[in-house]
Structure 1
Amino acid sequence: MKKNIFVAMSSILVLGAALAGCGGGNQAQTGNQPDNQQAAAPEKTGPKVLKLNLHSEPPTADPGISEDTTSAAIIRATFDGLTRVGADGQPHESIAEKIETSEDGLTYTFHLREAKWSNGDPLTAKDFEYAWKRALDPKTASNYAYQLYYVKNGEAYNKGQASQDDVGVKALDDKTLEVKLENPTPFFLELTAFPTYFPVNQKVVEADPKWAAEASTHVGNGPFKMEAWEHKSKLVLVKNENYWDKDSVKLDRIEFSMVEDENTELSMFDNGEIDWAGAPLSALPTDAIPSLIESGKMKTQPIAGTYWYKFNTEKAPFNNAKIRKAFAYSIDRKSLIDNILQSGQIPAMGALPMSMAINKDGYFKDNDTETAKKLLEEGMKELGIDKLPPITLSYNTSEAHKKIAEAIQDQWKKHLGVEVKLENKEWKVYLEDMHQGNYQIGRMGWLGDFNDPINFLELYKEKNGGNNDTFWENAQYKELLNKSATIQDHNERLKVLGDAEKILMDEMPIAPIYFYTQSWVQKDSVKDVVITGLGDVDYKWATVE
């Protein structure tokens, strides 16, 4: 899901974590605890409660339409997939007790264990078939439907070119799910651990279109269930006694407050009101980072994510590639990292983060002001204008996003002589406006859903793709991505994907700014929270000692 990312210092789908290598092989032990052992929960001396803060209201708790990291964190706690990624960064059997793969890599057969929904209904293979086809149904308008295009005829059905019955997912019986793929997909078992591949309860979904918006109607199959959701105030999860692996769940409750101000959040942590502050669900105040580093309290880890600015390529002047490149080239990324972020981020000279980079040297220079001025002049001449229209840079509410925007606003004025207006919006509104094209330049971040270049590059394959708010499309780029899906040789495939990234960076519908790290502080008593290399957080095995 990732993952449109919500905060600056972290990435997923919000605020994120880090990325592991491509998974594949059939998994390790059932349960997949952080220590890779199926240990029983320790004896309790009282309720184990983890107190956290969500920087913003989750836009949804429905895995079929989730697209951001805040929502994904809640969904990962309240749902379970065929596989689940553990502390080792690899997918392990979860609802699927056994997984069989055909020799040609095109057919997966998942044998399900005995499991229930949080309301006591039996969980069946049909719940997965229904959920996947629901996410692909054009009427659902899932921005993550493309994540299911690896399934045979998934894309065709989503685009109205095939029927639902043509989609390659079928419940053979209550405990057997057969999946046929378009092409061999070595990271498919990572995908089945992703929210868009989670099951939903058909009876619940069809009875109430707003089932996922309130605690009283929300039904999941994960380690926790929703007890309360006071919108924009707090959200409470409690241990799900119907969860198949409940003995591995040590927490009794997770209580989320919802405070947008990072300084207030850190004060709450210092006062003992919450057990954790910062990534992956929020961010640390930038002014506090030097002292937190000096004290040794701050934890930092790199993640496979890119912070970038998107250009609306359908609105002047950013319908011109040279002008887009001028704005991108004139950003001084190193000064942003040194003076604002201060957490070891890496300047991004390409779209792909370092764990999957093909051209590690990048495609342009940081702070290349002279080239930027020349491109701006050429681009304006191509558009037949001698003055730029008013320029607006939009970002969602966050201290770090604001400081980054202000710094880049100053850089564009200094380097290009351009006046830029800043516009701040609440996360849910901001996300919708981006999707609707109600912006000129907009901040966004992306955390990998799996550790492969295609996961970043496919975002911009289709003009009207679910997460392509730039509305840019290039026929050659699309052809290269399609070609990569048919290539078995690893090096040859990477060459084709590298050619595609070169086109993306030459057209510049996005301006990469930096590759993410995540930083946070936590109480010493909090143990076994899993934060993956992709920026996902999982509280299944967490405890408070």
Structure 2
Amino acid sequence: MVSKSLRPALLAGLGLAALLLSGCQAKVSRPPCPAGEVCLAYGSNNEAGSLDPQTSNLVDEFTIIADLISGLTTDSPDGQPIPAIATSWETSPDGLIWTFHLRDDAKWSDGVPVTADDFVFAYRRILDPKTASIYSYLVYLLKNGQAVNEGKAPLTAVGARAIDAGTLELTLEHPAPYLPELLKHQSFFPVPKHAVEKWGDAWVKPGRYVSNGPYKLMSWQLGDHIEVVKNPYFYDAKNVCVDRIDYFPTPDSVMAERRVARGELDVNTSFQSNRFIRLKERMPDMVRAKNALATSYLSFNTREIKAFRDSRVRRALSESIDREFITGKLMRAGQLPAYAFVPPGTANYARGARTVWADKPLAERQAEAKRLLAAAGYGPNRKLTFDFKISNSPDTVLLASAVQADWAAIGVDAKIVQNEGQVAFAAYRNRDFGIGAMSWYADFNDPVTFLSLMKSDTGGQNYGDYKNPAYDALLNAADREPDAGKRAAILQRAEQMMLSEDAIAPIYYVVSRNLVSPRVTGWVDNVANFHRARWLCLKK
């Protein structure tokens, strides 16, 4: 429980933020739009680190990449998978071989045809150990994918084959009825073989970037914005309304509110949660909030911090957090306390797994947390201390302050270390943290996108390095189970096992929070929170 002396200070910060927003107004400023064209100004949380679909990993990067590159399938306006570069496909009776028929009018932005070889090349590249892709584990679904990524098989062993220029055959390790959902993800995007072979990893620079989606890259000014323009070679270019998009990193969410209100931004992909009620009053036609397929959670660095290898310590830290205060008093945008990892609304799943202490009153949980810490050797004479590394987004800073206070109440000293988002996640990947705060947004609508994070062979994004052979075995068994109901039950057992060991500390289920100008048309709120620019337009 947050101490009574600290709670007023946390809540007072909310009022201060409101006063700051009501301050100065400035002249509307946005890049000039050529006469007769439609231009969209798009704000996102973080600066993109990469536009390479096989080495990027943040949601803000994926937003841009998915406007530049189209995969075999793509997102409809409501986030459902629909054909893209593939017009149709067939599946073998055992569900292991998928044959995709590609569009004959698909071209890269330099006019070169998109072929099945571009997909085969892409899958070999993402699995190549030299690429060191953080998302390579998703492509383990292809036959021999893991063996290739671990250097135990040649690149040619990957289960992807170009039957001819317009026909791609994928052979899977196990049946995956969710494959059309997964193919929307950047890890399964093609890359232009001819450009990568010419430029290497530098193919992503402006002037070299070759895309096959609705837009092509024009410029990238670090710290300022990325500009893309309509790709005339896109197969559906005639139905793309927006001619140019400028993506602006806007980590200061209060400033982003002002920019949307002034017309400098047409869209911003976040706003501060505790400002939801005020924004609904002041900007009711711009606020778009919806429960998302995402969970906010904490990771324990078990690789570098010995204390976190003790499940008693992890449980003490997790169960002492007042999730109801965080969601109801701090966030206040509809977030729900999380006592599991897989969020509500996830397809192909019957939720039911919970932390074993979820139903206990907070006071009882915090008393138990003190006993667990004492049993693990920590107390007044040997205080548990560590760095609590976070990104500097307003919501995360609020969350961290509340959690820090909860931990202080049980005698734990956590030092909050703030970093810009890209820096924070680089630290997580390099295991340069004690405890980290992050949110996981579903890559595709299936429980596996959450639960596979904790597999021992996942790699970089298993930030806490949770390893349990029994957990791995359950996920592998679920992969092989053809019956949907039995598969869901196996996955629920796996989640319960992971939660019973407090491998992570789930905090709350995320609400997507977008500010969208009423000038923007074609925006459809959906649980995946995917909004491809090809569907958008602007009223004059």
Q: TM-score, normalised by structure 2?
A: 0.88
Distance in 2, matches of 1:285 and 1:346, equals 16
Aligned pairs for 1:185-196 (under 5 A) are 185-196=176-187
Partner of residue 402 from structure 2, selected from 395, 407, 416: 407
Kindly indicate whether residue 421 of structure 2 is the aligned counterpart of residue 427 of structure 1.
yes
Aligned pairs for 1:124-163 (under 5 A) are 124-163=115-154
**1:169, distance to aligned residue in structure 2 (A):** 0.3
Partner of residue 499 from structure 2, selected from 490, 496, 505: 505
Summarize the Cα distance change of 1:98–1:495 in structure 2 as closer, same or farther, 3 Å threshold. Answer: closer
Distance in 2, matches of 1:469 and 1:76, equals 25
- Name the stretch that deviates more: 73-82 or 196-205: 196-205
2:259 maps to which residue?
Answer: 268
Distance in 2, matches of 1:180 and 1:241, equals 33
1:492 maps to which residue?
Answer: 486
Kindly indicate whether residue 196 of structure 2 is the aligned counterpart of residue 205 of structure 1.
yes
Partner of residue 216 from structure 1, selected from 207, 212, 224: 207
Partner of residue 297 from structure 2, selected from 296, 302, 308: 308
Partner of residue 291 from structure 1, selected from 278, 296, 299: 278
- Name the stretch that deviates more: 370-379 or 314-323: 370-379
- Match of 1:317, SS state, is helix
Aligned pairs for 1:41-120 (under 5 A) are 46-113=36-103, 114-120=105-111
Distance in 2, matches of 1:266 and 1:294, equals 13
1:514 maps to which residue?
Answer: 508
* Percentage identity across paired residues of the two chains: 32
- Name the stretch that deviates more: 404-413 or 212-221: 212-221
Summarize the Cα distance change of 1:286–1:501 in structure 2 as closer, same or farther, 3 Å threshold. Answer: closer
**1:78, distance to aligned residue in structure 2 (A):** 0.2
Partner of residue 358 from structure 2, selected from 344, 349, 365: 365
Stretches (4+) displaced over 6 A: none
- Name the stretch that deviates more: 351-360 or 248-257: 351-360
Q: What code does the residue aligned with 2:519 have? A: S
Alignment check: 8 A CA contact 2:307 2:313 kept: yes
Alignment check: 8 A CA contact 1:66 1:196 kept: no
2:532 maps to which residue?
Answer: 538
Alignment check: 8 A CA contact 2:452 2:458 kept: no
**1:447, distance to aligned residue in structure 2 (A):** 1.1
2:170 maps to which residue?
Answer: 179
- Return 5+ residue gaps in structure 1 as ranges: 1-43
Distance in 2, matches of 1:147 and 1:217, equals 27
**1:287, distance to aligned residue in structure 2 (A):** 5.0
Summarize the Cα distance change of 1:383–1:152 in structure 2 as closer, same or farther, 3 Å threshold. Answer: farther
Distance in 2, matches of 1:389 and 1:515, equals 28
**1:124, distance to aligned residue in structure 2 (A):** 0.7
**1:532, distance to aligned residue in structure 2 (A):** 4.0
Alignment check: 8 A CA contact 1:312 1:439 kept: yes
**1:213, distance to aligned residue in structure 2 (A):** 4.5
Summarize the Cα distance change of 1:313–1:463 in structure 2 as closer, same or farther, 3 Å threshold. Answer: farther
Q: For the aligned residues, what is the CA RMSD?
A: 1.9
- Match of 1:60, SS state, is coil
Alignment check: 8 A CA contact 1:320 1:379 kept: no
2:389 maps to which residue?
Answer: 394
Q: What code does the residue aligned with 2:281 have? A: E
**1:535, distance to aligned residue in structure 2 (A):** 2.7
2:219 maps to which residue?
Answer: 228
2:318 maps to which residue?
Answer: 328
- Match of 2:206, SS state, is coil
**1:85, distance to aligned residue in structure 2 (A):** 1.9
Q: TM-score, normalised by structure 1?
A: 0.87
- The superposition leaves residues 190-236 of structure 1 with CA deviations (integer Å, 9 ceiling, x where unpaired) of 11111111100122113223435532221111100111110111111
**1:50, distance to aligned residue in structure 2 (A):** 0.9
1:29 maps to which residue?
Answer: none
**1:446, distance to aligned residue in structure 2 (A):** 0.7
1:317 maps to which residue?
Answer: 307
Higher relative contact order structure (alpha carbons within 8 Å, sequence separation ≥ 6)? 1
- Return 5+ residue gaps in structure 2 as ranges: 1-33
Distance in 1, matches of 2:458 and 2:352, equals 29
Aligned residues: 497
- Name the stretch that deviates more: 183-192 or 457-466: 457-466
